A and B are shown apart, each in its own frame.
Chain A
Amino acid sequence: MSDIAFAPAYPISIPTREILPWAVFAGLILILAVYFVGAEEGALALVDTGGVIHEFVHDGRHLLGFPCH
């Protein structure tokens, strides 16, 4: 009797070494995108556009529930 018969039938997973580089680089850029929609030129600012970024995404920021003003 093989072990496989008792093991739960998990689908074949994607190897971690394949995920990691994507998770680090893409993850960083995507989190930066969330930051620009959610917090840029609010509590802190990476670029100074005189509030244009903040004002442009203003309604989305409020409606998505990020702290604003």
Chain B
Amino acid sequence: MMGNLLLRGMIAGLIAGVLAFAVAYTLGEPEVNYAIGLEEQKAIAAGEDPSAEPEIVSREVQSTIGLATGILAFGAAAGGIFALVFAYAYGRATTLGARGTSALLAVAAYVAVVIVPQVKYAPNPPAVGSGETIGARTSLFFGLLVVSIALMVLAVLLARRLWAQGAWRAGITAGLAWLAAVVVVLLALPSVKEVPADFSADSLYRFRMVSLAIHAVLWAGIGLIFGALAERLIAASPRLRPAAA
């Protein structure tokens, strides 16, 4: 049962990953290329020869099979973790069935894993961000990611606890508490301001929108595809089928 559910999560993640790759390749790569072009221009202006630096992996590979590998691996892993969380949330967090639980969980995951961390530490194309701060930026990003997931879990627990007082009241109270906690955390964390003054604001905006879009496609795909796959598995499981049905 659990193994099968996990497999379905990873399959849903792979399929959603293919869709997300299409978005990343068609809309994201032009912005990555702009940033790399700018990087090389600066190197030339500084009297360096960009082609002198050994290319470990060619741009051709990076922008195609490398990008696909990265997004598919992330999609499969996210889908698998999603299935594990779903296994616990199903029948516990909400009265919804498999598809409803899956869709709702995907929305919660998108907010907690993508929107909250990106509001503070927005995705950056190459040429933005200094090599010396990568350690600090990595810690801050993953730290915020963990805190954000914890706050989402707490909000759901709070809503569940207040549910007897009515769904609206529980939802709004838990939602406001969550929002207040998120705002405090985001304000407390240090900002990172490393965008070079001459970097195209348009390209940066597009890059960040594309990143949100890639994740939107990925998580919507996981939520909907996994929901359908999980529903079939649960319906076929004698243990999980309601006795009355």
Chain A residues engaging chain B, CB cutoff 8 angstroms = 8-14, 16, 18-19, 22-23, 26-27, 30-31, 33-34, 36-39, 42-44, 50-52, 55-69
Contact = CB atoms under 8 A, between A and B. Distances in A.
Interface residues of B, number: 66
A58 B57 CA distance: 9
B81 A69 contact: no
Interface in B94-133: 95, 97-98, 114, 117-118, 121-126, 128-131
A50 B66 CA distance: 16
Contacts of B236: none
B74 A63 contact: no
B58 to A, nearest CB: 9
Nearest to A11: B91
Contacts of A51: 56
Given A12-B240, A19-B87, A62 B125 contact: yes
Contacts of B56: 50-52, 55
Contacts of B241: 12
A67 B117 contact: no
23 contacts: A10-B91, A11-B91, A11-B234, A11-B242, A12-B91, A14-B1, A14-B88, A14-B91, A22-B87, A23-B84, A33-B77, A56-B66, A57-B73, A59-B28, A60-B67, A60-B71, A62-B32, A63-B24, A63-B211, A65-B118, A65-B215, A68-B126, A69-B131
Contacts of B134: 42-43, 67-69
A11 to B, nearest CB: 4
Nearest to B17: A60
A14 B211 contact: no
Interface stretch (B137-145, B150-158, B170-178): B137-145
A12 B76 CA distance: 27
Interface of B: 1-3, 5-6, 24, 28-29, 32, 56-57, 61-63, 66-71, 73-74, 76-78, 80-81, 84, 87-88, 90-92, 95, 97-98, 114, 117-118, 121-126, 128-131, 134-135, 137-139, 141-142, 207, 210-211, 214-215, 234, 239-242
B121 A12 contact: no
A44 B2 CA distance: 33
B124 A68 contact: yes
B70 A11 contact: no
B97 to A, nearest CB: 6
Given A8-B95, A59-B29, A62-B126, A67 B66 contact: no
A41 to B, nearest CB: 10
Contacts of A68: 124, 126, 129, 134
A11 B214 contact: no
